[in-house]
């Protein structure tokens, strides 16, 4: 579990509720770095001044911005400290609204708001009160010197804080071709297709990231000197010009089961025994790799004799 990124209090009227915030989500994507293809050396980046071409040390780097007139304005820590930003570590409750009034486009990041020391009772009170009222608390919070509106709502036994973007940060759509007309027969057929593909109990846990799974298999295969069999790519479907014909064919495919993909996680599930064997194999491989690395290190010449990079 990641460490707390913020601690403070929720100001709920005259009630103060100590809480800690932890990131509620995290990426499962594999981190791919850049290496020198010839020798496997890691590629590193240096911060260079574009005026004199010299590498700049971290302590000599300041924050700033460029004005519309092209002037550079440098800001130091004292300048930033004087800004009217709340640093009181208080999440201020502004009011309570029905959840459906918040357009999902406003949601930015999610954090678990966990009760702090001796906060179990007031924390439970706020959580249960939100459930009973069927409303969401709109709050102000400052994280990493950035003030945000946020929505505080219950999720099972814990409160979740969803930071929100400001109204002027929502961009207006600039899409073209939005004036299409619909025919009643097409609309009816589309409704039939939607109904045939309806999911009554959506569970995100039934789906998995096929790309990342394939990437993991590829990395393991290359590390072991194996070559993966190339997967046969699906042939592109023939283009159907008539919209009504396309809808009718889609409905037929769904009814026959040929047009509906099973959740990736279900189709990729492994028996417990196979999963355990894979885990043991992976651990053994890791141990062997460490042993090989130690042998290589022992064979290397002393540091003073090695050529400097």
- Over the chain (309 residues), what is each successive 10-residue block's mean pLDDT? 86 90 90 93 94 93 93 88 72 94 95 93 94 95 89 95 95 87 90 90 89 88 86 68 82 74 47 46 50 44 39
Q: Are 152 and 158 in contact (CB under 8 A)?
A: no
Predicted pLDDT at 269: 42
Domain positions in the chain are 6-24+84-169, 211-260
Q: Checking DSSP bridges between strand 136-143 and strand 146-155, what pairing results, if any?
A: antiparallel
Whole-number pLDDT of residue 133 = 95
Reference 150, options 104, 158, 141, 159; nearest CA is: 141
User: Percent helix, strand, coil in the chain (nearest 5)?
Assistant: 35, 25, 45
Residue 138: enclosing H or E segment and its boundaries?
A: strand 136-143
Domain 6-24+84-169, CATH? 2.40.290.10
216 torsion bin: left (phi>0), alpha (psi -120 to 50), beta (else): alpha
Lookup result for tokens 């929502």: 170
Query: How many CB atoms are closer than 10 A to CB 112?
Result: 19
Supply the pTM of this predicted model. 0.69
CB 23 within 8 A of CB 160: no
From the list 107, 149, 143, 116, the residue with the least C-alpha distance to 5 is: 143
Closest CA to 145 of 86, 67, 73, 69: 86
pLDDT (0 to 100) of residue 237:
67
């Amino acid at each position: 579990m990641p460490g707390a990124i913020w601690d403070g209090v929720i100001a709920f009227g005259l009630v103060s509720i100590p809480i800690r915030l932890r990131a509620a989500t995290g990426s499962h994507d594999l981190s791919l770095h850049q290496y020198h293809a010839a020798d496997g050396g890691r590629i590193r980046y240096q911060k260079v001044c574009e005026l004199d071409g010299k590498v700049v040390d971290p302590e000599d780097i300041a924050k700033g911005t460029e004005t519309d007139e092209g002037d550079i304005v440098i800001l130091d820590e004292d300048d930033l400290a004087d800004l009217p930003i709340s640093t009181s570590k208080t999440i201020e409750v502004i009011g309570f609204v029905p959840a459906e009034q918040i357009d999902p486009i406003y949601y930015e990041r999610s954090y678990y708001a966990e009760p702090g020391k001796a906060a179990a009772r007031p924390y439970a009170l706020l959580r249960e009160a939100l459930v009973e009222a069927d409303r969401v608390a709109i709050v102000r919070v400052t994280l990493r010197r950035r003030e945000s509106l946020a929505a505080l709502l219950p999720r099972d036994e814990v409160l979740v804080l969803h930071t929100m973007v400001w109204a002027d940060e929502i961009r207006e759509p600039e899409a073209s071709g939005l004036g299409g007309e619909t025919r009643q027969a097409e609309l009816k057929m589309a409704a039939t297709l939607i109904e045939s593909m309806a999911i009554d109990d959506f569970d995100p846990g039934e789906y998995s990231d096929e790309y990342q799974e394939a990437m993991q298999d590829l990395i393991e295969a290359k590390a072991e000197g194996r070559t993966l069999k190339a997967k046969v790519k699906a042939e592109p479907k023939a283009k159907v010009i008539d919209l009504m014909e396309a809808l009718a064919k889609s409905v037929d495919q769904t009814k026959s089961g040929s047009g509906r993909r099973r959740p990736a996680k279900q189709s990729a599930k492994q028996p417990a025994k196979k999963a355990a064997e894979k885990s043991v194999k992976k651990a053994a491989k890791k141990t062997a790799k460490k042993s090989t690395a130690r042998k290589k290190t022992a064979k290397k010449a002393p540091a003073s004799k090695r050529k400097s990079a």
